[in-house]
Structure 1
């Protein structure tokens, strides 16, 4: 057997019914084998390219999502900033109003003080006519001669006043300081009804009452007018009234308010 026959004897024709297939295999060019091996090596690169594309897609989707969220958050922050600015403006307005109110309050307090000063000056400038004495907004006149209770009252009324009405312990003490060893008529009587003592302004005698002990007693059944008697300034007991006959001629005390004295009355 020669060499050519040995070569053909070693060729495996199993599965190759087509004689052209064996021929193609035997005569296949080296370049074809090279292309086959090249295609097999390029598959990993294709997978990497696809993976990179997918990653780029995911990254792009993530960027888009973050961008949308950023814009939403930015819009919310913008609205919050606007709301904050509005609230700040309102607070500033309230603060300004408080400052204005504080200034108004200071001005009001200053005006109140000025009014009080003026009122004090007015009171200081108020005075009673010559011969009259002042005590807590009223003027008092102690007579220099004696008259009956009715005559004394008429004298006071002619002067725009009336017989004195005593309203407090302080006034009782003040009247005692008009002189020493005095007794004078006051504007208290029970002429209308025995035992029902009234002041000359028509009010009933309730309190205070400064009757001497045992008074009024209506001695001799004709004591219907009240008399003030001086008492020692050192004693605590200032009870000094008693009832006397109204026809008795003694001193008297008139009383009028400062307002009445300024309204044209000649005291």
Structure 2
């Protein structure tokens, strides 16, 4: 009887124990689910934070890289501009150097030419000084004049002048005619005028035509048909000095002997 009672009591206690086990399991499951949810939430938040951090870092580094690239571009652009300026300056300096070298060569040529001209002038001056100092020569208006003390034909007289580095005088002005009349001192003298090439076409010995004339009256007359050379100061009528001190020329035979006057132009 007692055993049955115990069994009944025991059987009655089992449902309670089962209920306690169920409650504990439910609580434990609920705790697990809560922990899982919390863990999942934390993981989700961490993923979001990681993604946000990655995005922020990417944006930051991208921006930093872009800034560095921009800085490098600006620096390269500045360097390129500076390089262009330097190249342009270099080209200008090269061109300036070339121009200066050309100018230096030109100046050297001018210097050499000036030295040459200086030497020529010095030699010319020395020659002029020597000519002026030569006995028998007289200076007048950039020319030297020589009056001979001998008498020769027109051709021989001209040869003598050429041997002295001169030629028979060419008279082209009233002042020069007056000077020649003073120089000849009352003696007739050959001058460098003739029509030997063409009759009545009077030319000076350098080939220039006659323009200024100082013929005496009734001259030239080509007396006896062989008067092709000109002398000054001779009156063919009585072989005396002409009265007109200006118009003193007359044509005469080139073989006639007379004194002569040489002229040597001086050019500096």
**Interval of TM-score (by shorter of Structure 1 and Structure 2):** 0.5 to 0.7
Choose from 206, 209, 212 the match for 2:212: 209
1:154: which partner in 2? Answer: 156
Deviation at 1:227, TM superposition (A): 3.4
In structure 1, C-alpha distance between the alignment counterparts of 2:62 and 2:83, rounded to whole Å: 32
1:165-198 per-residue CA deviation (whole Å, 9 max, x = no partner) reads 5275486576456356665321212255431223
Shift of 1:122: 1.2
Q: How many residues align?
A: 222
Query: Are the structure 2 counterparts of residues 52 and 242 from structure 1 closer, same or farther at C-alpha, using a change threshold of 3 Å?
Result: same
- The residue correspondences of 1:75-154 to structure 2 (distance < 5 A) are 88-100=89-101, 104=105, 107-126=108-127, 127-128=130-131, 129-133=134-138, 139-144=144-149, 147=151, 151-154=153-156
Offset from partner CA, 1:211-233 (integer Å, 9 cap, x none): 4597754276655432346xxxx
Partner deviation per Cα, 1:98-124 (whole Å, 9 max, x = no partner): 555555555555444443332222122
Distance in 2, Cα, partners of 1:31 & 1:242: 161
Q: Distance in 2 between the 1:74 and 1:50 partners?
A: 35
Return the TM-score normalized by structure 1: 0.55
State the Cα distance separating 1:163 from its structure 2 match: 5.6
Q: 1:242 aligns with which of 235, 245, 249?
A: 249
Residue 54, structure 1, aligned to residue 62, structure 2: no
- Cα distance change, pair 244–41 in 1 and its aligned pair in 2 (3 A): closer
Superposed CA RMSD in Å reads 4.7
- Deviation (angstroms), 1:89: 4.8
Rate the CA distance shift 1:87–1:47 in 2: closer, same or farther, 3 A.
Answer: same
Q: Which segment is superposed worse, 43-52 or 242-251? A: 242-251
Q: Does 1:227 align with 2:226?
A: no
TM-score, scaled relative to structure 2? 0.55
> Aligned to 2:61, what secondary structure does the other structure show?
helix
Q: 1:37 to 1:216 in 2, by over 3 A?
A: same
**Cα distance change, pair 207–47 in 1 and its aligned pair in 2 (3 A):** farther
CA distance in 2, matches of 1:87, 1:192: 72
Superposition deviation, residue 141 in structure 1: 1.8
Deviation per residue, 1:58-77 (Å, 9 max, x gap): 33344455556666666676
Structure 1: where are the runs of 5+ without partners? Answer: 1-22, 230-238, 259-267
- Unmatched 5+ residue regions in structure 2? 1-21, 234-245
Residue 153 of structure 2 aligns to a residue in which SS? helix
Classify 1:227/1:31 alpha carbon distance in 2 versus 1 (closer, same or farther; 3 Å).
Answer: same
Q: Give the SS at the match of 1:244.
A: strand
**Does the Cα contact within 8 Å between 1:212 and 1:242 map onto a contact in 2?**
yes
Richer in helix (by share): 2
**1:199 deviation in Å?**
3.4
**How many angstroms apart in 2 are the aligned matches of 1:184 and 1:45?**
139
2:26 aligned with 1:27: yes
User: 1:125-178: CA deviations, max 9, x gaps?
Assistant: 113342134568865321246x4xx62431441462676252754865764563
Q: What SS does the aligned partner of 2:136 have?
A: coil
